[in-house]
Amino acid sequence: MALRMTGMMSGLDTESIIQELVAARQTKVDKQKKAQTSLNWKQEAWKDLNTKLRGLQQKYLSSMKYSDAYTKKTTKVSNSSAVSVITGTNAVNGVQSLRIESLAKNGYLTGAEVKSNSGNKLTALSKLSDMEGFTGGNGVINIKTGGKDIDVAVNGDTTISDVLTQLKNAGLNASFDEKWQRLSISSKESGSKNDFSITASDGVGASALKALGIQTDITKDKATMAEYEKFAKYVVKDGSDQIDKAATLANMKEMIDKDVETRKNSYLNQYKSLKDSMKAAQDKIDEIKEKYKDETLESVDDYASKLEAKNAEIKEKREALEGITDPDAKKAAEEELDQLMKEADNLTERKSAAEAIKKQEDNLAQYGNDLAKVESYISVTDNGDGTYSATATSKLTDEVGDRYFNKASYAADVINVINNGNKVDTDRTATKINGEDAVIYLNGARYENDTNSFEINGLTFTALIANKDEEITVTTEQDTDGIYDMIKNFLKEYNAVLNEMDKLYNADSAKGYEPLTDEEKESMSEKDIEKWEQKVKDSLLRRDENISSVTTAMSSIMAEGIMVNGKEMHLFDFGIEPLGYFEAADNERHAYHIAGDPDDAATMNKDDKLKTMISNDPDTVISFFTKLARNLDTKMTNMSKSVNGYRSFGSFYDDKKMKSDYDDYTTKIKEMEAKLNEYEDKWYKKFSKMETALAKMQSNASAVTGLLGG
């Protein structure tokens, strides 16, 4: 704002005079600002009301217009602490009998205490060779759970951590408690199919299980016993009671062939990956050699040696340069130093190229070794179209066959010991809880599941307590309270919206009240300002045409008759209607009340016609309210359609027009304020000129007086 010096010569209060001159125009600007503020408040009031109207549609009408919303059923049980029941829409009404025989369990193994040869405590990094019970040598243990079957090679260097990793890879939870020196293993899911077994494929594997404390009492461990029995049954013995290897392998042919196929495919994938890696390495070598095809690349060591010498020469030259003072000599030395540095850069670049070639050549050698190992297991044919096919070599089939034969042989020995009435070594035996299925009997029929939840005929049972001797009564029936509550809650929301629209439409006039300017607020208390503005806001939607249209349309739909089974029915046929004109409170004459509603003081003593009809004739109730909701939803959707330039989709008021009008006010106010400033500046300039003229006159008068000796 410019600094203005006014009234100094004339003695006039020019500031007040100018403000009086511009006051009329300032009033016009304030009038536009007040109109814009009123419009903004009106927008906010309509946004809030629009949200409630949309909420009525989305929360109730969108679902109530479909009969599925009313097909509510409820189920009661005689012992809710033993079972919980969720009722689906297609559940059958009736009384059923339920008995819970057992609950589903996770397989859980608590290992025996592991002990070290030295007496020191073991850690996750401790090796089998450090533990009591391990015999030494190379062995195999097998981990089986769900759909996974993993063989783990073990030896003296195998750590507890290695075993934990393999257990987790198989899909189990596994940990080692260093305080208690025990392994804990459990299945991630309950049920017998998710139980696990950890078996030995040979004597060394058995000693590893014993050392780790995870050897179980096979006679009590269902999953482990089943695994040993499975392999023992394949064993064939000859006349001398020795195992016939050929016959045993023949019995396991299907399993062996499947495993061979799986491993063959795995090796073929490795082959493809190695081939791709070898090609990439060779391409990199060829690329570097092509770049330096006109030169002979030396070894990495040669370049390193030359670079070391060159850097030493650069250092010496740089130190010598500091002592040269002659300009010409210094320039020559600097040029020589630059040349040396370029040569060093060139050596560095070639050293990097030589290193890259060396790295890729080393990779090629490693890939070649890996490829040779893979090719010892599969014979690969290049199909010529970028694909390969493979067959298993005898080495692969022999290794797989030997693996299965060893497992079967060891399993036969274990089962033989048990069958002869002896116990397998149970020293330091782990405690195993078998994974089990839940078993229930519903109306005498047996159901098994790997979890405690059963979905049967629209009901979801969750077993909580197993009590095989208790007969639990399960009663499913129509949820009359659910249907009643849905209709009641819909009407409550409908009434709230209609009552609010009536209140806004019938609001008292606020004639003489307008939004306050900042200057007007300065002379008022905050409490008075709040009361003043609330008076204006309360009256903003008085006699609003959009409110009138929406209220009339919604009320008409609610009052219309609806055909149900050839008969026209109205809400009053269900005991639902507005109160009488003199009974209803102001602005609540469109509200509907349910006869017999215990929460409604006006109708609580009347007969509950709605609930009676829901109990006796639910189909009629559902049909009526489905059609009513559909009609009301359609009408509200039509009223809130998009109108170009006036309203957006989903708006019951002219939101676009209001926004446009608000922006027009902003532009108009800006223009009026600019003109007002120009008008004010004009008067300041005029009074400034007057003051200047008076100052000159006073100066001249003083000069004349001085000449005359005054």
Q: CB atoms < 10 A from the CB of 217, how many?
A: 15
Residue 267: exposure state from Cβ atoms within 10 A (0-12, 13-18, ≥19) = buried
**Number of H helices and number of E strands within the chain?**
17, 21
Tokens of 276: 């791709």
Q: What is the mean pLDDT of residues 243-255?
A: 93
Mean per-residue pLDDT of the chain: 89
The band of 277, judged by pLDDT with boundaries at 50, 70 and 90, is very high
Q: Which of 139, 140, 402, 143 is nearest to 248 (CA)?
A: 402
Q: pLDDT tens-digit profile of 507-553?
A: 999 888 888 988 888 889 999 998 998 999 989 999 999 999 999 99
Mind spelling out the 3-state secondary structure of 192-247? HHHCEEEEECCHHHHHHHHHHCCCECCCCCHHHHHHHHHHHCCCCECCCCCECHHH
- The least confident of 108-112, 493-497, 644-648 is 644-648
How far, in Å, CA of 159 to CA of 150, rounded? 17
- The mean per-residue pLDDT over the stretch 15-20 comes to 67
Share of the chain above pLDDT 90, in %: 63
| pLDDT higher than 50, residue 230 | yes
Alpha-carbon torsion, ordered 630, 633, 637, 640, to 10 deg: 160
Token pair for residue 68?
């599925």
For residue 86, give the nearest of 77, 78, 95 by alpha carbon.
Answer: 77
Tokens read off for 5: 């010096």
The 10s digit of each residue's pLDDT in 376-417 is 999 999 998 888 999 999 999 999 999 999 999 999 999 988
Instruction: Provide the whole-model pTM.
Output: 0.57
178/146: higher pLDDT: 178
Give backbone dihedrals phi and psi of 125, rounded to 5 degrees, phi first: -95, 0
Predicted local distance difference test score (pLDDT) of residue 282: 95
Q: Would you state the pLDDT for residue 517? A: 85
pLDDT for the residue 1: 42
Rounded to whole angstroms, the Cα distance separating 199 from 194 reads 16
Indicate whether 71 pLDDT > 60. yes
pLDDT band per the 50, 70, 90 thresholds, residue 5: very low
Give the pLDDT score at 687. Answer: 66
* Predicted local distance difference test score (pLDDT) of residue 3: 41
Residue 494: its pLDDT value, please?
A: 97
Query: For residue 694, what is the enclosing H or E element?
Result: helix 655-707
Q: How many CA atoms lie within 13 A of 64 on its CB side?
A: 27
Q: Among residues 65, 67, 68, 87, which one has the least CA distance to residue 76?
A: 87
User: Which runs of consecutive H residues, i.e. helices, occur in 420-524?
Assistant: 480-505, 518-521
Tell me the pLDDT band of 11, cut-offs 50, 70 and 90: low
pLDDT higher than threshold 60 for residue 10: no
| 192: CB partners within 8 A, 6+ apart | 222, 434, 435, 436, 437, 450
Q: Whole-angstrom Cα distance, residue 509 to residue 327?
A: 97
